[in-house]
Structure 1
Amino acid sequence: MDDHGNRLCLWCGVPIIQTGTGRKRDYCRRTHREYAYRERTIRRRIGDALGYNRSDPPATP
Structure 2
Amino acid sequence: MKSITATNLINVFHGTCNFGTLVGAFLSDTYFGRYKVLGAASISSFLVTTISSPLS
- Band of TM-score, shorter chain: 0.3 to 0.5
Q: Relative to total residues, which structure has the larger helix share, 1 or 2?
A: 2
* Higher relative contact order (CA closer than 8 Å, sequence separation 6+): 1
Q: TM-score, normalised by structure 2?
A: 0.43
User: Which structure has the greater CA radius of gyration?
Assistant: 1
TM-score for both structures, normalised by structure 1: 0.40
